[in-house]
Structure formats: structure tokens, C-alpha cells
Amino acid sequence: MKILILGGGPAGLGAAWRLNELGHRDWRLLEANDYAGGLASSFRDEKGFLWDIGGHVQFSHYEYFDALMHKLIPKEEWLTHERESWVWIRNRFVPYPFQNNLHRLPREQIARCLNGLVEIQKNGSHKPANFKEWILATFGTGIAEVFLLPYNFKVWAYPAEQMQHSWVGERVAVTDLSRVLHNLVFEKDDVSWGPNSVFHFPKRGGTGAIWSACAARLPSERMHFQSRVQKIDSVAKRVTTTDGREWAYDALISTLPLTELLVLSGRDDFSDLAASGLKYSSANIVGVGLKGKPPERLKTKCWMYFPESDCPFYRVTVFSNYSPNNVPDSENNWSLMTETSESEQKSVDHQTLVQQTIDGLRNTQLLNGDEIVSTWTHRAKYGYPTPGLHRDRALGKILPALEADHIYSRGRFGAWKYEVSNQDHSFMQGLEVVERLLNGHPEITFSDSNHANSKKHPFPFERWVN
């Protein structure tokens, strides 16, 4: 079987890695950039500061993926961190999950949040129709209005009522009222939640070092960089790149954004369905390199959430805390990395974003007279695949039609499923589709996100064995 892979991010590399591991030789990978990694790439600016495309961390649901990380980067070259995530709200830091740490809020806000929690206990539950209704039914009006609704608009760049809620799973900490009240009475910080309470990060090279190492271990004669796809002929099973070359295939594994794949393959019959169902937001990253060392209040923090309107960003990572090698001189430099979303419903002024970001860092007291040494910007057109109300209907029609033409769309924007779009998920989507094509094994991550996220999976998956 002649297999062609489009895209050299984690999903495309997952497919290539498994093909190579199984000894299958008739494959090629095409990547438009001159480097591997996709959204998990890293860049060093002119002043020597290293940046990721957003706040990536390494944790996984798969033993195979964990073993691969240590195969690509030696164990001693990894740093391990206990997650410290915080919400900056009402001029103070509140540990995340926000609802478990209400004692940090002003009294009137505590009362407002508690009243909302009591309301949902009294009123009982009903089936929510969208993400906004799910938030209100799960957290009450107080927490929703104080934190979750404004924050989620800043993240997704779409109103919560335009999103479904089935994606939530492990992505959002839900409310345990007894736990909330216990922490409130005893004024106890509660920060132990989620699959990434402990995470790993490369000592050198940022997140991109992982995927550069992965690509470097694959046969160079099958890896074709600076090969941008111009057209896909699904009848002739041929891909044409902008340099005029043609690439035949029996099976095409595409990790390109699904909307782009439809255009390249001439599937105009799905244009209306894609427009209504395949929403996304862009990610604007602004890195700020600083002189000195982080202040005491930021020395151990990992990332922080910002729901309020006094800053454009929704999240800031103290990126120098992830590794001392993320800055040119860890004794004399530190760094903050911000993320600002953008969509058709939330515009961004790119000309003034850097200054808006610096002003926002001052408004939120992250900068207090610190000397800025460097600024770096990056815009990822495709940042977050939005789980909109019509997403599943669109995917349910588009993906099977493509597979009928032997085109398998996988990865963060290939499958368009945010709930299985982390690096581990994306890599395993590529690996699993290869297992399906060559060995007839069912795909797990792509087809069943709840099962994929339910636990740490051995390899091969239980369902493969059964």
C-alpha cells in the first residue's frame, strides 16, 4: 500500500513513525514548512529567548507515547514540574480550579458564587442545549458570570451558547459542593485536579525539540519538507505540490485543517456544511523577554488565566519557569508568553497587539517596571478547533465521504475534535490510522474520545487485543 502523509506535526509524525516501525517502506510525508512540529514547534528570537506556539506541556494517556518521549529525548534531559495554575481576578490570584478556592475572593463575590451553587442544588438538573447552559447548570450563575462565561469567550472567541458541551470531559473541573464548602470554611487552597497536575518539559529546545528529534529519526529520503500541497485529485489518487511534483497514493493520511483539505480536493459539495460546522479560532502569541528574575509571586507559577477585560490575553505562561534554557541567561533573564484568541466574532488589532499586551501585563501586575529586552509574535491561523453546535453533524457527513475516497483526515484540525487534540492524542491518531490501514485494528482515539481520555492506556490498546 502506497501511503502519503500530508503534514509534519504530531499526527503526521505519528503515522510516519508507526509505518517506519512496522517496516512498511512505501510511504512519503509532505510538509509545507522547512521544519517538523506544526503547532508544537518552537522558535528562538533574535535576542536568544525561546518560544512555543502557546503553553504546551507534556502529559499523556498512553504508555506508548510516554515511552516514545524518553526514546526521543533522554530521561535526564526532561524537567518535571508540579502544576501551579491560577486565575487573576479582582486584583488577586485565585488557585485553579477557581470554584474550589472561593475563599480567596472578596466577600461579596463569595456570596454571589455560593448563591449560584445553592440555586442549582435547589432547582435540580436539566439537559443543557449548549455550553452556556451546561456552565450555568453545573456552576450556577455566580461562578458563570464572575469567571467562566467571560473567560471562555476570551479563550474560544465565540459565545458559549454557540458551542456544544459534549467535549468537556476532563477539560473542565466540575463542582463538588461539599469540597467547595470545606475549602471555604477552612480557607484551604485546593489545586490538585486534572491529568496535568504533574507535567514534563524538555530541558533544551522547547516543545519543538521533541518533534524535531522525531523527524530526525525517520528516513530522510521519505521526508519532504517545503512541499506545499496545491491540489488533491481523489479520483486519480494523486497530490500535486506547488513545485509541480506529483505524488501518487493508495491511501492519503491528511493532517491539514479539514477546511483546507476540502478546498484542495475540490469538495465544493461540502462548503456550506463546513462553513456552519467547522468553526475555529486563531491564536496570537506574544512573548515578552525580560531583564532580571521573576518576582517572588511568580517564581513557581506555571500559567495563569485572565477572564477580565483589562488585558487582551486569556492565558499567560511564565515560560522561563519551564526551563532555564528558555532564556539566554537564566541568571539575568525571565520571560512571559501570552495567548490571545481571534475569530470572526472577536477581532484583534495586530498593529497594536504587542503594546496592548504590555499594557495588559502591567494592568494585571505581572509587570511592575521590569525592563523589556525582547518581544516576539506569532499568529497561528488555526489555533483551536471550536466544538460548535453543528460540528458533529458536519464531521459525520464529511469524514466518511473522504474515507470513501481513501482519504483519512486526522490530527488536531484534521479530525476537528478539540477533546482529542493534545500532542499525545494527535500522535496516536496518526499511529492508529496506520494500524487500521495495515493491520485492520480499530481506531480508539479518533472514534471514542471518552474512552481515550478515561485512563492511561497500555500498548497495544485493550480493544486491539480483544
The full set of domains in the chain, from first to last, is: 3-41+62-76+205-278+388-465 (3.50.50.60), 98-185 (no CATH), 280-385 (3.90.660.10)
Q: How far is CA 314 from CA 270, 354, 381, in A?
A: 33, 14, 17
pLDDT, residue 174, reads 58
Percent of the chain with pLDDT over 70: 97
pLDDT, residue 171, reads 47
Q: Taking residues 7-22, what's their average pLDDT?
A: 98
Q: How confident is the model at residue 175 (pLDDT cuts 50, 70, 90)?
A: low
Q: How confident is the model at residue 57 (pLDDT cuts 50, 70, 90)?
A: confident
426 near 411, Cβ under 8 Å? yes
Instruction: Give the whole-angstrom CA distance, residue 72 versus residue 351.
Output: 39
Higher-confidence residue of 324 and 464: namely: 324
Report pTM.
Answer: 0.94
51 near 206, Cβ under 8 Å? yes
Higher-confidence residue of 198 and 188: namely: 198
- Location of C-alpha cell 529519526: 217
Residues with Cβ within 8 Å of residue 439, at least 6 apart in sequence: none
Backbone dihedral region of 20: left (phi > 0), alpha (psi from -120 to 50 degrees) or beta? alpha
Q: Is 24 exposed, middle or buried (0-12, 13-18, 19+ CB in 10 A)?
A: middle
- Condensed to tens digits (0 to 9), the pLDDT of residues 370-420 reads 999 999 999 999 999 999 999 999 999 999 999 999 999 999 999 999 999
Q: Taking residues 413-435, what's their average pLDDT?
A: 97
**Choice among 64-78, 116-130, 270-284, 305-319 with the minimum mean pLDDT:** 116-130
Using the predicted structure, report yes or no on whether residue 170 has a pLDDT greater than 60. Answer: no
Nearest to 388 by CA among 444, 340, 343: 343
Using the predicted structure, report yes or no on whether residue 445 has a pLDDT greater than 50. Answer: yes
Higher-confidence residue of 180 and 45: namely: 45
- Condensed to tens digits (0 to 9), the pLDDT of residues 295-349 reads 999 999 999 999 999 999 999 999 999 999 999 999 999 999 999 999 999 999 9
- Condensed to tens digits (0 to 9), the pLDDT of residues 81-112 reads 988 899 999 999 999 889 889 999 999 999 99
Residues with Cβ within 8 Å of residue 440, at least 6 apart in sequence: none
Residues with Cβ within 8 Å of residue 192, at least 6 apart in sequence: none
pLDDT, residue 58, reads 85
Interhelix angle 10-21/423-439, nearest 10 degrees = 40
pLDDT, residue 334, reads 98
**Choice among 18-27, 160-169, 342-351, 410-419 with the minimum mean pLDDT:** 160-169
Q: Which residues pair with 283 in a beta bridge?
A: 341, 380
Average pLDDT, the chain: 94
pLDDT, residue 192, reads 58
Residues with Cβ within 8 Å of residue 293, at least 6 apart in sequence: 299, 331, 332, 334
Using the predicted structure, report yes or no on whether residue 172 has a pLDDT greater than 60. Answer: no
pLDDT, residue 464, reads 87
Q: Check whether the bond before 97 is cis (ω within 30° of 0).
A: yes
pLDDT, residue 220, reads 98
Q: Check whether the bond before 400 is cis (ω within 30° of 0).
A: no
Q: How far is CA 17 from CA 68, 129, 385, 459, in A?
A: 10, 41, 25, 15
Look up residue 449 and give its three cell numbers: 474520545
pLDDT, residue 9, reads 98
Q: How far is CA 86 from CA 100, 284, 296, 307, 445, in A?
A: 12, 21, 15, 11, 30
Using the predicted structure, report yes or no on whether residue 173 has a pLDDT greater than 70. Answer: no
